[in-house]
């Protein structure tokens, strides 16, 4: 069940979670594959909270971390497995959305007696024994803050920094409409004890690598206008990554360069991640609900930003996805 802040249902979930959290001795946290600032930020914030309160917390992470967030304190503590000899009281599933997205990682879930799932994605059912699902929250870090605040424990600088990065990155540095009064209220409290936010901004947004510039350049150079210019698309093939030695994370955020083109309604970026496996990022700048479209391909996300992974050759996948968007646009036009 989705809850919204503030409210009695929300409060009840927080009480349940705080009770578990304060009594737990051994915890672990897991997030969706290719953790972003919010997923990793929430894991690290929990880790630092546990350090402050004398609990053992293991951070599970299986993928390379983007440079923009790998500087966060505690990132170097990420592990790929859980020690066999520990009984875990509690696990926090940070925006793990659904089991399908988690793949083999779901095998870790039963290692904890109680699982808490925090998520702000749309339409999530909840993979925990206790779920705190708030579609109106800017980020998972915002939901976690609501819990940690309730414990009354003073949050360390490292913990506040991690929460700040999660909220900052998921709101596009406070530019999107998910930056609510509540998100700003939380940010005010995080800053109050002296976070140096311009340093954080520089580390997240003004640091780049050669590979990243090259991959983003390829994406921009290949931009194609389709469907009378209402759709723009670009792509990256496996050979682009191997030729430059770039990782998938170097392509993160590249869709931004094409989704800000005047007059478009949908921007698409196709990334070949393995032979015949293509990740698709969708951005909508108008009325097209790209989450609905991504769901046709077993993906998900938000109305204006979604993703999916399809099997097939990249050209076929591009054709199929563009055709389904064009069909939605035509249907909407016909209905007017
Ligand atoms: Mn998030």
If you count them, how many residues does the chain have? 336
Neighbours of 98 (CB within 10 A): 17
- The answer to whether residue 126 sits within a structural domain is yes
Q: Tell me how far the alpha carbon of residue 264 lies from the centroid of ligand 1, in angstroms.
A: 25
Q: How many domains in the chain?
A: 2
The one-digit pLDDT tens for each residue of the chain (336 residues) are: 799 999 999 999 999 999 999 999 999 999 999 999 999 999 999 999 999 999 999 999 999 998 899 999 999 999 999 999 999 999 999 999 999 989 999 999 999 999 999 999 999 999 999 999 999 999 999 999 999 999 999 999 999 999 999 999 999 999 999 999 999 999 999 999 889 999 999 999 998 889 999 999 999 999 999 999 999 999 999 999 999 999 888 898 899 999 999 999 999 999 999 999 999 999 999 899 999 999 999 998 889 999 999 999 999 999 999 999 999 999 988 877
Predicted local confidence at residue 93, as pLDDT: 98
Check whether residue 48 and residue 127 sit in a common domain: yes
Q: In what order do the strands lie in the sheet with 300-301?
A: 224-226, 231-236, 266-274, 277-284, 305-311, 300-301
- The answer to whether residue 146 sits within a structural domain is yes
Q: Tell me how far the alpha carbon of residue 95 lies from the centroid of ligand 1, in angstroms.
A: 6
- The answer to whether residue 1 sits within a structural domain is no
Check whether residue 185 and residue 216 sit in a common domain: no
The pair phi, psi for residue 272, each rounded to 5°, is -80, 115
Q: Give the three-class secondary structure for 123.
A: coil
Q: Tell me how far the alpha carbon of residue 236 lies from the centroid of ligand 1, in angstroms.
A: 24
CATH number at residue 104: 3.90.1640.10
Predicted local confidence at residue 66, as pLDDT: 86
H helical segments located in 61-196: 67-70, 99-102, 140-151, 157-170, 181-192
Distance CA 118, CA 17 (A): 10
Q: Which of 205, 235, 255 finishes a domain? A: 205
Predicted local confidence at residue 207, as pLDDT: 83
Predicted local confidence at residue 249, as pLDDT: 83
Check whether residue 103 and residue 181 sit in a common domain: yes
Query: Dihedral angle at the C-alpha atoms of 67, 70, 72, 75, nearest 10 degrees?
Result: 180
* Domain encompassing residue 18: 8-205
Q: Which of 205, 227, 258 finishes a domain? A: 205
Check whether residue 244 and residue 188 sit in a common domain: no
CATH number at residue 285: 3.10.310.30
The pair phi, psi for residue 278, each rounded to 5°, is -125, 125
Q: Tell me how far the alpha carbon of residue 38 lies from the centroid of ligand 1, in angstroms.
A: 5
Q: Tell me how far the alpha carbon of residue 36 lies from the centroid of ligand 1, in angstroms.
A: 8
Q: Tell me how far the alpha carbon of residue 336 lies from the centroid of ligand 1, in angstroms.
A: 34
Predicted TM-score of the model (pTM): 0.79
Q: Which of 184, 205, 226 finishes a domain? A: 205
Predicted local confidence at residue 67, as pLDDT: 84
Check whether residue 193 and residue 264 sit in a common domain: no
Distance CA 269, CA 209 (A): 20
Contact 252, 259 (CB under 8 A): no
Q: Tell me how far the alpha carbon of residue 80 lies from the centroid of ligand 1, in angstroms.
A: 21
Distance CA 129, CA 170 (A): 26
* Residue where the block lists tokens 């009325």: 287
Contact 115, 129 (CB under 8 A): yes
């Amino acid at each position: 069940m989705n809850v919204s802040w503030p409210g009695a249902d929300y409060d009840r979930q927080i009480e349940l979670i705080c009770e578990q959290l304060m009594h737990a001795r051994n915890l672990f946290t897991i997030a969706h594959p290719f953790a972003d600032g919010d997923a990793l930020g929430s894991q690290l914030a929990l880790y630092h909270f546990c350090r402050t309160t004398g609990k053992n917390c293991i951070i599970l992470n299986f993928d390379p971390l983007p440079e923009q967030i790998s500087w966060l304190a505690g990132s170097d503590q990420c592990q790929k497995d859980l020690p066999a000899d520990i009984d875990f009281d509690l696990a926090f599933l940070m925006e793990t959305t659904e089991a399908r997205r988690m793949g083999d990682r779901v095998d870790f879930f039963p290692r904890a007696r109680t699982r808490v799932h925090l998520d702000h994605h749309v339409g999530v059912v909840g993979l925990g024994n206790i779920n705190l699902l708030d579609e109106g929250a800017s980020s998972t870090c915002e939901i976690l803050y609501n819990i940690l605040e309730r414990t009354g424990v003073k949050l360390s600088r490292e913990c506040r920094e991690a929460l700040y990065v999660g909220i900052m990155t998921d709101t596009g540095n406070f530019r999107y409409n998910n930056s609510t009064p509540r998100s700003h209220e939380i940010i005010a409290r995080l800053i109050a004890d002296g976070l140096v936010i311009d340093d954080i901004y520089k580390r997240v947004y003004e640091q780049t690598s050669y590979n990243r510039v090259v991959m983003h350049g390829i994406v921009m150079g290949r931009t194609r206008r389709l469907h009378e210019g209402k759709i723009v698309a670009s792509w990256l093939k496996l050979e682009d990554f191997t030729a430059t030695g770039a990782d998938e994370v170097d392509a993160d955020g590249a869709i931004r360069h094409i989704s800000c083109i005047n007059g478009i309604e949908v921007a698409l970026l196709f990334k070949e991640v393995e032979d015949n496996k293509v990740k698709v990022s969708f951005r909508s700048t108008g009325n097209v609900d790209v989450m609905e479209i991504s769901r046709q391909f077993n993906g998900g996300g938000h109305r204006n930003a979604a993703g999916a992974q399809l099997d097939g050759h990249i050209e076929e996948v591009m054709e199929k996805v563009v055709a389904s968007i064009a069909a939605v646009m035509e249907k909407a036009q016909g209905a007017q």
